[in-house]
Every structure is written in C-alpha cells, then in structure tokens.
Amino acid sequence: MKTILKTKRTIIGVLSLLLMVVLFTASAEKVQCAKPDTGPSLLVDKGTQHCISCHGKQGIGKVIVEQWRNSKHAQADVGCLDCHQAKKGDIDGYEHEGQFIATIVTPKDCAECHQDEAEQFTTSHHADAGMIMGSLDNVLAEVVEGSATFRDGANPAAASGCWQCHGSRVQIQTDENGKPKYNDYGVLLFDPKTWPNTGMGRINLDGSKGSCTACHTRHNFSVAQARQPENCGRCHLGPDHPQLEIYNESKHGINFRAHREKMNLDAQPWIVGQDYSAAPTCATCHMSATPDQPVTHDVGDRISWTLRPKVSEKIDAAQQAKYKALGKPLPEDFLTWEQRRKNMQDVCSQCHTKDYILNFYTQYDNQVYLYNDKFGKPALALMKALKSDRLITSIPFDEKIEWTYFYLWHHEGRRARMGAAMMGPDYTQWHGNFEVADRFYMEMIPEIKELIEEARKKGMTAQADNVQKLLDEILNSEMHKWFIGKSNPEDVARRKAAAAEFRKRYSE
C-alpha cells in the first residue's frame, strides 16, 4: 500500500512539474540570461537570447554583449531587437537568423523610446554638423589636402578626418546591377568611403540626421561617460576649436580634475547644485538639468553668440530681426538669443552670484566685439574687395593671402573668442588676440600691399586704387592708426604714465 501511494505521489509530482514547464514555456516572453558575477540575472526577450547565444561566445560579439549586460538598457530589459529590429522596406534592413534587422541604429530608432531627446537633437546645431561638406573646410579635404576621386572616390582626408566628427552620408555597397551586397554571413555591406562613421551630423539611410552613439558610445550607452569633458573633446579640440584645452585651463576644468570622484556622474537626473556641486562639465553648462531647467539635447539652447564664423553674430538675431521688420510675431517655439543667454545664466547662477555672472558676460561680449570690430569685419571687407576687383582669383586657397586670412579667423580668431567664453585667458591672449594681431599686421597687410602693386603693374589701376582706398580707411581708423605712426600723443602719454605708476607700485 505504501509503495502504491509513493508511486502515485511520484507520478503526480512528475506530471505537475511537466505541466509547470509546459505552462511556463507557453506563456513566458522573457527568459533568463546570466549576467557576470558582478550583478544579478536579467530577463530579456527570446530574440535577444538568440542573439546572445551566438554573439556572446567569443570575439567582438562577446565584448558587445558584456558592454550591453552592464548597461542601463539591459537593466530595463531593452534587448538587441528593441534597437536593431528593422521594418520591411527599410533600405538598410536585411534578413538574419529569422529576423529582419538593421546594423546602424539611428536617432529615428532611438526616438521609439527617447522621443524628446531625439527631437531636440534633430533640431540642434549638432545634427547639422554635416553641412561642413559644403564649406571651405571640405574644399581643403577634397581638393587642397587630398582628392575626392582618389582611389575610386575613397576621399581619405575627408572620410578619416572631417567626417568622423561632422558625419558622412552613409551608403551601402551595390553590385553591377545596383542591388545591395552582403557578406558570407548575410550581413548588409556598407560603402567603406562612408562607414564606419559616428559623426554628429551623419546622414543616415533612413533619412534621419545624426548619431546618438557619437556621445553615448555603444553598447554601454553610459550617461557618466557622456558627461565627461573628454567625451566632447573627441571633436572639440585642436587649433581651430580647442574647447577641451580651454576647459582644462579654466578653473572649471581644474576643479573637475581635482574632485572628479565627487561628481556623482551616474546620478539621475544629475541636477547641478543638488546631485553635485564640485565643478561643471561641458554637459553641465550646455545640456544638463538645473533646479529650474530640464535636460536638453539641443546644445544651442544656451548659446547666445556664434563663435565659429568670420564675424560673430548673436544666435538667430538676423532671423529675429526679419520677423520684426515684417511686423510678424515670433513663432511660439522660437528661442531668441536673449532667452538662450538667460538659460545659460541660470546654470551659472547655481555657483555664482548675479553680479559676477553679469560682469563676466560684459567681459565676454567686449572681447567678441573687439575681435569683430578691429579684425573680423576689416579683414572680411578687404578679402571681398580683393576678389570683387579681381586682385585674387575666385579659386579657394590658390593664393597665400587666402591661407593667411583663414588662419586669422578660422584658427586664431576663434581661439580668442572661445577662450573668453570659457574662461581660458591664455587662449584669449597668446593663442588668440596676439596671434590675430600678428597675422593681420605682419602678414595680411603686407600681402595686400604686394597684390596692389602687382595689379598696378598689370594695368589694373582702378581696381588697385579701390583696394588701396579701403586699406587706407582701415589703417587710418582709431584702432589701427598706431600702425602707421598716427597714435594720439595724449594716448601715448597716458600709457607711459600708467606704466610708470605700475613699476612704482611694485618697486616699493
């Protein structure tokens, strides 16, 4: 009798266990995926489990899986197919292991979960970074430094240089019939002239602009990394836009390096003055939250000056003036330069007093106006006159003065303005104003005089006279007349007296 009961219990137990297995298998949409010993197990969808079963074994796939496992995506049960699933008809989609997927994840894909961030980014200056492909910088890469047709259009100077920050127009490889090409594993092949690329203004195959992974590096997608100054410094450094170097020189950068461990970089929402107070990073000032302001992925929302061009302008001031001239109200979503400045000053106010902030902005504005009025506008006017009167050709960079002028505004002029914007005095002075002045007086002016003389020898008297007249007007103006020996005696006496007083003060 006991044996029979024991047998019945065993049978019932086995049947119950089998039933539980069947029910679990039939209903479960999530399966267990073991994490490393550093954390608990995760629940992920079956598609992701299948991806991991191959890609997680060895090589680059294992690295990718490990990065993902330690990401916030994994913690939120966001798996491979949540990001890489493509729709039928997508130009970059292809069949792979029973799924229709895309290799490149674009802002349009990220918008499925991060809609606000994607919209803000898409309307930002970052997303338009690819417009450099129509600028003088691209002429340098495709004509002067290299060739757009070199090695069957490889265009290496642009592809490995400019486009890695500014973005390429991604294209796929096609056969002689124009059909997409795939590798031996059935993976869609991209044109190596345009991929790999995580440039901020990349033009994607789905029509979207930009690359979220330019800042949120895959597959960790770490906010802590995105908040590091070095993350922005991948592109914002060097002779023409040394924001990282300027930041490192500033008190902001010094404080960050001294107190990095107090920055609480993983915190959400990471509000300055609440989650951290040791120092600001690039993200703090340009993107991150304050007690009164949310996070923004439009890096221009707090910038009032544009420091990139030959002559600086207030952001969207021309568009603002156009509406005013037409007597039309500004669109509801139009962000004036005054509002942008107010947004940035809100960030500053978390650590600085109102008077300190206003005085800083006065100094900053004065530096930008100085560059504009003394060098930016006169140099631009002279270059326009040289071209309109045909003392130089219309071909970019074929004459020395074009290189001289490019250095003046594109390198030294930017450094002077950016140094003032970010509290980097050495970049404002010795890498900026000093080199602008040296370039203007010691190179540009003599070169213009030579061009005038050459024009006279060619019989282009009227054209030479036009440029000479403009040059004389500039050199006889208040800020330049010292160069031709016309300084006011009173100004000279005043400076001598001030110098004597300075020496006396420090000799006592």
Query: What tens digit of pLDDT does each residue of 176-198 get?
Result: 999 999 999 889 999 999 999 99
- Residue-wise burial string across 92-121, b where 16 or more C-beta atoms lie within 10 A, e elsewhere: bbbebeebbbbbbbbbebbbeebeebbebb
Q: How far is CA 232 from each of CA 229, 236, 277, 286, 368, rounded to the nearest angstrom?
A: 5, 6, 20, 11, 23
Cβ 412 vs Cβ 445: under 8 Å: no
- Residues shown for the chain: 508
Q: What is the pLDDT of residues 308-361, one digit of tens each?
A: 999 999 998 888 888 889 899 999 889 999 999 999 999 999 999 999 999 999
pLDDT over threshold 50, residue 425: yes
Q: What is the pLDDT of residue 41?
A: 46
Mean pLDDT, range 211-231, rounded to an integer:
95
pLDDT over threshold 50, residue 38: no
pLDDT over threshold 90, residue 503: no
Q: What is the pLDDT of residue 30?
A: 43
pTM of the model: 0.88
Residue 15's pLDDT band, with cuts at 50, 70 and 90, is very low
Angle between helices 445-457 and 461-475 (to 10 degrees): 160
Residue 63's pLDDT band, with cuts at 50, 70 and 90, is very high
Residue 505's pLDDT band, with cuts at 50, 70 and 90, is confident
Please give the share of the chain, as a percent, with pLDDT higher than 70.
91
Helices (H) and strands (E) in the chain, counts: 27, 6
User: Among all chains, which residue has been given the structure tokens 């500053």?
Assistant: 348
Q: What is the pLDDT of residue 237?
A: 97
Q: How far is CA 358 from each of CA 213, 282, 362, 374, 430, rounded to the nearest angstrom?
A: 36, 20, 6, 24, 25
> What integer best gives the mean pLDDT of the chain?
90
Residue 506's pLDDT band, with cuts at 50, 70 and 90, is confident
Q: What is the pLDDT of residues 72-104, one digit of tens each?
A: 999 999 999 999 999 988 999 999 989 999 999
User: Among all chains, which residue has been given the structure tokens 């340098």?
Assistant: 140
38 by DSSP, 3-state: which?
coil
Paired tokens of 154: 């490889």
Residue 417 belongs to what H/E stretch?
helix 414-421
Residue 43's pLDDT band, with cuts at 50, 70 and 90, is low
Return left, alpha or beta for 225; rule: phi > 0 is left, psi -120 to 50 is alpha, else beta.
Answer: alpha
Residue 40's pLDDT band, with cuts at 50, 70 and 90, is very low
